[in-house]
Amino acid sequence: MPKTSSKTNPARELVFGDLWEYDPAPETADPKLKPRYDLFINGSYVPPRAGKYFGTINPAQETKIADIALADASDVDSACKSAQKAFTHVWGKMPGKERGKYLYRIARLLQDHAREFAIAETLDGGKPIKESRDFDIPMAAAHFFYHAGWADKLEHLAPGRQVTPHGVVGQVIPWNFPLLMLAWKIAPALAAGNCVVLKPAETTSITALKFGEICQEAGLPNGVVNIVSGAAETGAAVIQHPLTTKVAFTGSTEIGKSIMRSLAGTEKKLTLELGGKAANIVFDDAPLDQAVEGIVNGIFFNQGHVCCAGSRLLVQESIADAVLAKLKRRIAVLRVGDPMDKNTDLGAINSREQLTKITDLVQSGVTEGAEKHDNGCKLPAKGFFFRPTIFTNVSMSHRIAREEIFGPVLSILTFRTPDEAVEKANNTSYGLSAGVWTDKGSRILKMSTLLKAGVVWANTYNKFDPTSPFGGFKESGFGREGGKQGLLDYLRVD
């Protein structure tokens, strides 16, 4: 242990070293899970017609949590038909004011059940409980609350034009923010007057299926929301079904492109929120401690399973050493482990498959000559975990600088001039988000103008709000979610 001295004022973690371990602080409330989840179709839970189920596991312990119904094309067909029926007979005719009240009820009920949803989310997906508790669930409720108020004000969205709902919307969501992505999809769809058939991700179905209970508790008319769990084939059935006239997808660019191809012969409306490889740009006048916190939040939030993660750090050359030193110190104290522990910073990687993908890409970084550094922390014996990792000596051609890793891995590059920063930041086929750290307001605005990205965070990162449109440029997809711009994507404009 280093000798302490009042003069050098060493950091706390150096003073304490390994002297004391944190006490475990597990969240213990009951997530009220069922051993088996059926499909939520037409307001009831129904078993899949083929009788097939698949297990969903806790990625932190590799233990099975529940059996999840596997919907096939006939189940999807029945969900789409019940959505169409609800749209034609009930939801599509209902005054917006009344629709809005159902959404307000859902928002309130999500708040009532917030703790149990947070725990279910963390058990099933592996994210730290502090994130599901303080971010995912409250933000999901906020999205319903925001969109509820739009339901009777839709005519303000497209002045001079008629807006009408599409009818049945097919939605496929990813595993990184299961309930929040559901809220991003369902809240605007319902506010606009559509009915939905939603497929959650294979590894994280529980909170979506639990959401059916919220719909029941809210007295939402049968068929307005249908949840069909399953894998890729189930999603394809939702997207391809003739009744889903509008399709919304969040996931990888590769799958987004295949969806575009599969719908090429149809007249379906499509919005896509796809991958990213965001640049987080730190200028030499940035408040460095704040920037380091932002860099950490940008790449390690939700284990880096974030499409807009700040996975490419661009640091101005003159401060690169200082930033790297601070970053290493900060990473040294990040706590990786039990997602249910309230002190955990990085929980479990969502699946073995994802862990393999991250491991492979990290290996490619080493092979291609970048310099790897991780915090060397002890990882739990069971479960899927990965240490917070940073790479220096990264060149723009390295795979770790080009491909979306979707894990806690940061690639660090440097720049000299603002022009070079812009060029490097935009040198990607993605364009979802970017970060800018500087003390100058005018530079923020200039950089924001030049960066080809749908969201630009200045002196912050990974901030979200229901009123703030989110979505990408280029191969990060099209359409927006949130705000009036996002809502309009759920309406036909005539």
Stretch that binds another protein, among 117-125, 323-331, 350-358, 460-468 (CB under 8 A): 460-468
475 sits near another protein (criterion: CB under 8 A) = yes
- Check if the beta carbon of residue 56 is closer than 8 Å to that of residue 31: no
- Check if the beta carbon of residue 166 is closer than 8 Å to that of residue 138: no
265 sits near another protein (criterion: CB under 8 A) = yes
Instruction: Give exposure, 103-129, as e/b (b: 16+ Cβ within 10 Å).
Output: bbbbbbbbbebbbbbbbbbbbbbbbbb
Residue 166: CB minimum distance to another protein, A: 16
Residue among 141, 444, 487, 491 that touches another protein (CB under 8 A): 444
Amino acid identity, residue 70?
A: L
Residue among 305, 457, 487, 491 that touches another protein (CB under 8 A): 457
59, two tokens: 């990625």
3-state helix, strand, coil in the chain (%, to 5): 40, 20, 40
69, two tokens: 């119904």
Stretch that binds another protein, among 31-39, 220-228, 331-339, 459-467 (CB under 8 A): 459-467
What are the beta bridge partners of residue 246?
169, 269
Stretch that binds another protein, among 56-64, 80-88, 105-113, 251-259 (CB under 8 A): 251-259
Residue 247: CB minimum distance to another protein, A: 13
Q: Which residue in the list 27, 121, 202, 273 is annotated as catalytic?
A: 273
> What's the full length of the chain, in residues?
494
456 sits near another protein (criterion: CB under 8 A) = yes
Cβ neighbour number for residue 46 with a 10 Å cutoff: 16
Rank residues 14 and 263 by Cβ distance to another protein and give the closer one.
Answer: 263
149 sits near another protein (criterion: CB under 8 A) = no
Stretch that binds another protein, among 235-243, 315-323, 406-414, 476-484 (CB under 8 A): 476-484
215 is annotated as an active-site residue? no
What is the sign of the dihedral through the CA atoms of 354, 355, 357 and 358? Answer: positive
Rank residues 297 and 468 by Cβ distance to another protein and give the closer one.
Answer: 468
256 sits near another protein (criterion: CB under 8 A) = yes
Q: How many residues bind another protein (CB under 8 A)?
A: 50
258 sits near another protein (criterion: CB under 8 A) = yes
Residue among 298, 471, 487, 491 that touches another protein (CB under 8 A): 471
In whole angstroms, give the CA distance from residue 90 to residue 102: 13
Residue among 272, 282, 348, 362 that touches another protein (CB under 8 A): 272
Residue 267: CB minimum distance to another protein, A: 8
114, two tokens: 């917030």
Residue 265: CB minimum distance to another protein, A: 5
Residue 100: CB minimum distance to another protein, A: 18
394 sits near another protein (criterion: CB under 8 A) = no
In whole angstroms, give the CA distance from residue 57 to residue 64: 4
118 Cβ contact partners less than 8 Å away, ≥ 6 residues apart: 27, 129, 132, 133, 136, 137
Residue 426: CB minimum distance to another protein, A: 12
Stretch that binds another protein, among 103-111, 314-322, 336-344, 438-446 (CB under 8 A): 438-446
Task: Give the H or E element holding residue 272.
Answer: strand 269-273
Local structure of residue 222 (DSSP, 8 states): T
- Best CA proximity match to 186, nearest among 236, 152, 148: 148
477 sits near another protein (criterion: CB under 8 A) = yes
The packing angle between helices 137-148 and 114-125, to 10°, is 120
Q: Which residue in the list 80, 195, 215, 307 is annotated as catalytic?
A: 307
391 sits near another protein (criterion: CB under 8 A) = no
Rank residues 316 and 476 by Cβ distance to another protein and give the closer one.
Answer: 476
432 sits near another protein (criterion: CB under 8 A) = no
In whole angstroms, give the CA distance from residue 451 to residue 444: 10
Residue 50: CB minimum distance to another protein, A: 31
80 is annotated as an active-site residue? no
In whole angstroms, give the CA distance from residue 464 to residue 142: 11
Residue 188: CB minimum distance to another protein, A: 15
In whole angstroms, give the CA distance from residue 190 to residue 99: 8
- 75 burial (CB, 10 Å; 0-12 / 13-18 / 19+) is buried
310, two tokens: 């700040």
Site residues (vs another protein, CB under 8 A) = 142, 158-161, 253, 256-258, 260-261, 263-265, 267, 272, 274, 429, 441, 444-445, 448, 453-460, 463, 465, 467-471, 473-478, 480, 483-485, 488, 493-494
Catalytic residues: 273, 307
